Structure 1
Amino acid sequence: MRMLVNVIFPIEPFNSMARNGTAGEIISRVIDDIKPESIYFSEQDGHRGAIMVVEVSDASAIPSIAEPWFLNFEANCEFRIAMTPDDLMRANLAKLAEKWSDVHVV
């Protein structure tokens, strides 16, 4: 299943790691290990952040995605299921609406 992973880095220890030159090398190692479909770095709520798209085959894979960020950067990680337009079409929204709606629009 495809997931969006939102990573928020606290100011420390990231500032210290940037100053001593280790931040980039560790980020590179983490990305090489996780192999996200894509990753973008941005500001989030006044902090450094990253947004990754990853394929998660099983819930037991989540720690292998989160722990490198937790252990190296004391980062916060948020996981959200992400659907493509094809995924959404396969959900059969019309059938779900019929099942769960009291009022049907014709």
Structure 2
Amino acid sequence: MRMLLKVQMNTATSNETIKQGKLLEIMETTLKELNPEAAYFTVEDGCRTGYLFFDLKDPSQLPKISEPFFMEMGAKVHYSPVMNPDDLRKGLSAIMPS
């Protein structure tokens, strides 16, 4: 299932993670493991924030994905199922009257 992973990092904790040289390592590992369709990084609500769009093959992946962000950066992690335009067309056509 295509998912959006939103990671909002605690500023003070992620500052320390950067000073220790771990933030880039965690991000690189996550990107390698998830092979996201797209990944974007910005600031939201005054926090470092990442948006990754990836295919979740099994819900049992969630702890492995989330825990480094929780443990190393005090991050808020949010998952949302998402659709691309083809998925939307397919979904809407299933509810349209014939």
Structure 1-normalised TM-score? 0.77
Instruction: Give how far 1:35 is off.
Output: 2.3
How much has 1:77 moved relative to structure 2? 0.8
Q: Percent identity?
A: 30
Q: CA RMSD in A?
A: 1.8
Aligned structure 1 segments of 4 or more residues deviating by more than 4 angstroms: none
For residue 5 of structure 1, what is the amino acid of its counterpart? L
Q: Which amino acid aligns with 2:49?
A: G
Number of corresponding residues: 96
TM-score, normalised with respect to structure 2: 0.83
- Rounded Cα–Cα distance in structure 2 between residues aligned with 1:63 and 1:56: 12
Unaligned ranges ≥5, structure 1? 99-106
Tell me the residue number matched to 2:95. Answer: 93
* SS state at 1:48 partner: strand
Gaps of 5+ in 2: none
Kept after mapping to 1: 8 A contact 2:42/2:49: yes
